[in-house]
């Protein structure tokens, strides 16, 4: 969920992350960099990823809400 500085909400859904569906084994990690269009100087983003175990069990992992700010701009508390 992406919320701009005016409180307008955009929901993002889809398979994978940055075009990938990584297989993460115990003890491994996956890192990526992404971006999102934002029509205000700042905003917030948070939500969940749905993961699937090797046995096919699906479960959600929460992503705590974090601030989105333009580079080279003073950070605003959202």
64 CB-near residues (< 8 Å, 6+ apart) = 46
- pLDDT of 78 reads 52
> In this predicted structure, what is the pLDDT of residue 8?
95
Residue 75: pLDDT band with limits 50, 70, 90:
low
User: pLDDT by residue (tens digit) across 2-41?
Assistant: 999 999 999 988 888 888 899 998 899 999 888 888 899 8
Domains located in the chain, CATH noted? 2-69 (2.60.40.1470)
- According to the 3-state scheme, what is the secondary structure of the chain? CEEECCCCEECCCCCCECCECCCCCCCCCCCCCCCCCCCCCEEEEEEEEEEECCCCCEEEEEEEEEEEECCCCCCCCC
Gap between the Cα atoms of 49 and 68, Å rounded: 18
pLDDT at residue 36, as a whole number: 83
Place 77 in a pLDDT band, splitting at 50, 70 and 90: low
């Amino acid at each position: 969920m992406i919320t701009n500085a005016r409180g307008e909400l955009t929901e993002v859904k889809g398979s994978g992350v940055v075009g990938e569906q990584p297989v993460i084994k115990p003890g491994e990690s996956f890192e990526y960099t992404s971006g999102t269009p934002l029509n205000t100087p700042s905003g917030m983003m948070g939500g969940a990823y749905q993961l699937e175990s090797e046995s096919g069990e699906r479960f959600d992992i929460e992503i705590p809400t974090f601030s989105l700010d333009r580079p080279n701009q003073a950070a605003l508390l959202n």
